[in-house]
Amino acid sequence: MIIWINGAFGSGKTQTAFELKRHLQDAFVYDPENIGYFIRENIPEQVKQSDFQDYPMWRDFNYKMLKYMDEVYRGPVIVPMTVTNKQYYDELIRKLRLEQVEVHHYILYANKSTVLKRLRKRLEYETSWAAQQIDRCLVAFQNEITEGIIQTDAMTIDEVVLEIARRSNLTLVPDRRSAIKKKLDRIYTMIKHIR
């Protein structure tokens, strides 16, 4: 099973993915961005794209990697990745489904002011690249890719995790962490994934 967590940059995808992983046995978080960084570092400057999703090989590799994991790994694979281009969505998620891969797709949707507030928590402001992408993302999730919207403006990460589990028919293991440990885990996740 693949659980694809989509949403605007700053919507809480990565935090949600790692919280969900902590509540599922044998879950694995797969980050498609790593392939983008690999491509970006290993291609001549003259042919670099501004968005690594625009490389057909990025989409193809991630499709093949997820297909392979579905064939050899029995635990849920969680994929926190923004995809706003319908063609790319089809080349990844729709194509996996056509290959009989069980893919649950969710969009963590929030209004612009909520996303900006979340970005400020990770020290990104209105001039950051992520903030500049909010409008593009919101338009795509209102018109192009609308499957699995979860309106998260008034939800905590824990509530989002519960909603994803409910919609995906997943049984969560209890969270036995202290409040301090939970907060530290989330800070660590945030710091580790700042790029």
Q: What is the pLDDT of residues 57-98, one digit of tens each?
A: 999 999 999 999 999 999 999 999 999 999 999 999 999 999
The pTM (predicted TM-score) of the whole model is 0.92
Residue by residue, DSSP assigns 53-113 as GGSHHHHHHHHHHHHHHHHH--S-EEEE-----HHHHIIIIIHHHHTT--EEEEEEE--HH
How far CA 88 is from CA of 52, 53, 54, 58, in Å, comes to: 12, 8, 8, 10
Orientation of helix 179-192 relative to helix 13-22, angle to 10°: 130
Stated as kind and residue range, the H or E segment containing 4 is strand 2-7
Contact criterion met (CB below 8 Å) for 167 and 102: no
Residues 60/64/67/71 CA torsion (nearest 10 deg): 170
* Residue 10 Cα distances to 48, 141, 176, angstroms: 25, 15, 27
More confident residue, 144 or 192: 144
Please check the confidence at residue 195 and state whether its pLDDT lies above 70: no
**69: exposed, middle or buried (C-beta count within 10 Å: 0-12, 13-18, 19+)?**
middle
pLDDT at 193 over 80: no
Question: Of the given ranges (26-30, 110-114, 185-189), which has the lowest mean pLDDT?
Answer: 185-189
CATH for 65: 3.40.50.300
The tokens for 90 are 């089809």
Predicted pLDDT at 187: 76
CA angle 88, 98, 71 (to 5 degrees): 100
Number of domains the chain contains: 1
d(CA 81, CA 71): 21
Give the model's pLDDT for residue 155.
Answer: 97
pLDDT of residue 176: 85
Count Cα neighbours of 140 within 13 Å in the Cβ-side half-sphere.
Answer: 20
* 150: containing domain: 2-192
- Whether 83 and 145 have beta carbons less than 8 Å apart is answered as yes
